[in-house]
Structure 1
Amino acid sequence: MKLRIVVLGPKGQGREDWRQTIATAAQEAIERSDIKWTLHTGPLTINARFYIPRPKTIKHTLHATKPDLGRQLLPALEDALESIVLAHGWQIYEVQASKDYGPCGATIEVSSP
């Protein structure tokens, strides 16, 4: 089972706004899904890709500057997905995360084995 959550957010959202945006996107993804996704209680994997607006000039093709990937990932895993997609944060046994240039937002895939 796999759930794909696409989050589009304006540049400069605060942490609480970002959590709410992710939670809303997760709920909408569940409603649009072809499969019936119930609050999952088994092991899950998370694959998250965060998109940061491209600056006017860049020195490297890889986004190795602020914002911190961990600071973007934690809100997604903590309050935003918990109680909507998964019952507890400890159910997550594997996480893959990256950041890239693009319109501000994220793509988060939650899957169960």
Structure 2
Amino acid sequence: MSNALTALTDHYDRLRNQTFPVPGVTKSDGKPLVIHFDPPTNAQAQRIRKQAGTTDEAQITLWTVIFLAKDENGKRMFDETAETIQALTENVPGRVLASISNAIMRFSPETKLGN
């Protein structure tokens, strides 16, 4: 592996396990809902776009959250069932889903770059 490739993959490894406390959303125990995620790779972004089947932002947002949001143990928070998709699309405010998706897809601030 080249030095450049090693540097890039090592950098990505340092960026893993980021968190996003969802503003205003609490769990049944009163604690904030925290989404865990790794910055998406190019392959994951392609999978999301393929699953969305469109360039529609709402679909891309939905599939970003389904595929990339994880719990504190690294397990996906949402499955791909019709029930989950319906609940996320019809019972969750779009701005909440968008805030999660934006947190996952955004560029990390310099303080979290892992250098």
Q: TM-score range by the shorter chain?
A: under 0.3
TM-score by length of 2: 0.26
TM-score of the two chains, using structure 1 as the length reference: 0.27
Name the structure where strand makes up a greater proportion of residues. 1
Higher relative contact order (CA 8 A, sep 6+): 1
